[in-house]
Structure 1
Amino acid sequence: MRSAFPAIWHLRLKVGPDALPLFEEVFETFAESVTMFMEDKSGISDGDCDWFLEGYSRTPPERVKIVSALSAVAAAHGIDVPALDIEQLDNIDWVLENLRDFPPIDAGRFFVRGSHWHGRVPVGRTELLVDAGTAFGSGEHATTKGCLMMLDRLAKRRRFMKPLDLGSGSGILGIAMAKMWAVDVLATDIDPAAVKVAAINARLNGVASRFTSVLSDGYRNRALKKGRPFDIIVANILAKPLMRMAKDLAAHLAPDGVAVLSGLLDWQERMVMGTHERQGLRLKDRVVRDGWATLLIGR
C-alpha cells in the first residue's frame, strides 16, 4: 500500500557561523529546502552555541557528490570538512507529529494555535488557527514570530490596503494581515503544496474570500504585476533569496510602502540591507529573536 506521505531525506551539518553561507550554497544544489538553526548549549544566551545547516529532499541524495562538493568548498577556504548526516524520514506527517507537542504561541496581539489545542483564546487577541499541513510556518519559529510582532507594531501606526505575503508557506502571515486589516491579501509560494495549505488555512480562519494563494517563483506570477504596487510586502524566506529579489521588491513596493523581511540570521543583516539600500530602501525598524532578525524597510 502506498504511503499517504512522500519519502523525505534529511541532510544535516554542524558548522561554525562563518561557514554557514559557504556550505548553504552546496545544500541549495542538492536539497529542495534549506534552513539553519542555533542550539544554545548553556541555555543562558551567553554565546555558547552550536550552528546547524539542514536540507530536505524528496529524491535520494547522492552522498559521494555532496561530500565532494563540501570538500571543495572547505579546501578553497582552508576549513575542515563537516561531517554529513543523511537520514530518510519515516513516511508520516511530521508537521502533525510536531504540532501535537506545541503549545499556543503569543506574538503581540496574535494568538497562534493548532486545532489540537482546545483552550480559551485570551480576550483581545487575534486568533490564528494554523492546522497541520506540509508547509513551513506554524508560528513556532523565531522568524515567523518576529514577523507577527512587527505586524503588530505596524498596526498601531497605520492601516495597509494592499498586502503581499511572498513565500507564504502555511499562509500564517497573510492570514494575520487579512484578519487585522480586513483587506484582500495576495499570498505566493514556490511550492505547490504550500499554496494549497495556505488556502486551506485561510478557510479555517474565515478569510478565504479575502485571501488569494498562487504559485510563483519570486515575483514572476502575473498576479503580482497586476496587483502592484503593494503598500506592504512580507517576505519570510532566507537571506540569499531576499538579496536576489531586492530589485523586484523595490519595483513592486508602493512609494510609501514598507516591507517586512525575515528568515535571516542577525549577522546576515548587513549584507541583506546592502542589496536593498542600493534600491533606495532604508532600515526603519527591527526585531531580533534567538539570533534571527526581522527587518522593516521602506523608502
Structure 2
Amino acid sequence: MTFQPAVWRLSLIVPRHAAEAFAEALESLSGAVIWPMIEDPATAEIRLDAFLADEPDQAAVRAAIEGAAAACAVAPPRPDIVWLPPRDWLDENRRAFEPFTVGRYFVHGSDFAGPLPAGCIPLKVDAGLAFGSGRHESTAGCLKALDGLAHRPIRRVLDMGCGSGILAIAAAHTWPARVLASDVDPAAVRVAAANAQANGVASRVRVVLSDGYAAREIGHRRPYDLIVANILAKPLRHMAPDLARNLRPGGFAVLAGFIVGDAGAVLDAHRQAGLALARHVDVGGWRTLVLRRPRHD
C-alpha cells in the first residue's frame, strides 16, 4: 500500500472569478493546489486546497492572501489550516474515482473492471500526487479540444506541464504520434511515466523534467504539430513566444487552466506571438483556447 505522509492543508473559500489569482498565491507557498470541478456556472465560490510538508508560516500565508485579494479587489478570505495524519491517500483516491466520458475519451482508474463503452478511447489514469484526473473543467476542456482535432494529421506532440500525463496519453491514443510530455514537478514526471506505461503507450510517450521550454530534448524535437499546455494564465502568457517558436507553421496549440475572464489576456499574448484563434471550448466557467500558427507568418 502507498501511504501519504502527514501534511498540512491550507484551505480558502474564494470568489470563482478570483480562483486563479489565489491559486497562484498558494502555489508560491506549496506548489500543489487543487480545486474541484464545478459544473454549474452560477457557482459563486470555489474552495482551494494547498498541501504543505511543513507547518505554513503565518506571515507568509497572510501576505500571499492579501496580495491576491488586493489584485482582485476582493476581501481577503480567512485561511483554514489543519494537520492531516498519514493515510493511504492513493488507495482512497482510486476507490473514489468514478469513470466518466469526455467526447470520445472514457476516463477511468486502474480499479475499473466493467465493460468499455463501444467506440471509446479508454484512458486509465491514477492521478497520484500529480494534477490531472480529467475531472477538472480545464482538463475536460482540453480533452474536448483534442477530440475536435482528431481528424487533423498530427505526428509530433508536446504536452507542457503534463501533470498526470492524461493529455499526453490521450494524444498518443488519438494519433500515431510521438509525444513528449514535460513537467517542472519530479513527482508529476514519475506519475505521468507510470500512467503512460499502464496505458500501453510508453514507447511513444517520453516524459521529461523541464521548467517551461528549457529542457534540451524539447528543443531537439521541435517543431511540434500540436502543443498542449494546461497550466495557468500567467505562465501561459509568459511562455507565448516560446510556444510560437516551437510550433510548426500550420500547427495547433491547446491552452487551458484559466477561467473565461482571463482568456482574453492569454489570447492577446499569443496573438502578439503570431498565433490565431481557431475556436474555444467552455466547461463550467473555464475556457480552453485552440490556436493555430499561420502557415505563412
Scaled by the length of structure 2, the TM-score of the pair is 0.89
Distance in 2 separating the partners of 1:50 and 1:58? 27
Question: Per-residue deviation at 1:219?
Answer: 0.6
The residue aligned with 2:28 is 29
Q: Is the 8 A contact 1:38 1:52 kept in 2?
A: no
The alignment yields a C-alpha RMSD, in angstroms, of: 2.3
Q: Which moved more, 1:3-12 or 1:270-279?
A: 3-12
Tell me the amino acid that sits aligned with residue 235 of structure 1: A
1:207 aligns with 2:206: no
Q: 1:163 aligns with which of 136, 142, 157?
A: 157
> When the two structures are aligned, how many residues end up with a matched partner?
292
Change (3 A) 1:257 1:134: same
1:122 aligns with 2:101: no
* Correspondence 1:44-123 to 2 at 5 A: 45=40, 47-71=42-66, 74=69, 79-123=74-118
Question: Per-residue deviation at 1:227?
Answer: 0.6
**Residues 16-64 of structure 1 deviation map (CA, whole Å, 9 limit, x = unaligned):** 3454455445323312123555767xxxx47252133432323321123
Distance in 1 separating the partners of 2:171 and 2:74? 44
Q: 1:223 aligns with which of 217, 222, 228?
A: 217
Tell me the amino acid that sits aligned with residue 28 of structure 1: E
The residue aligned with 1:180 is 174
Tell me the amino acid that sits aligned with residue 176 of structure 1: A
**Residues 113-164 of structure 1 deviation map (CA, whole Å, 9 limit, x = unaligned):** 11211110012111111135221112222211111111111003x1200001
The residue aligned with 1:258 is 252
Question: Per-residue deviation at 1:255?
Answer: 1.0
Change (3 A) 1:129 1:90: same
The residue aligned with 1:268 is 262
Tell me the amino acid that sits aligned with residue 276 of structure 1: H
Tell me the amino acid that sits aligned with residue 134 of structure 1: L
Q: Is the 8 A contact 1:14 1:53 kept in 2?
A: yes
Tell me the amino acid that sits aligned with residue 284 of structure 1: A
Q: Is the 8 A contact 2:156 2:226 kept in 1?
A: yes
Change (3 A) 1:218 1:291: same
Change (3 A) 1:36 1:197: closer
1:190 aligns with 2:184: yes
Equivalent residue of 2:268, what SS?
Answer: helix
Equivalent residue of 2:96, what SS?
Answer: coil
Scaled by the length of structure 1, the TM-score of the pair is 0.89
The residue aligned with 1:233 is 227
Distance in 1 separating the partners of 2:174 and 2:207? 18
The residue aligned with 2:289 is 295
Change (3 A) 1:66 1:153: same
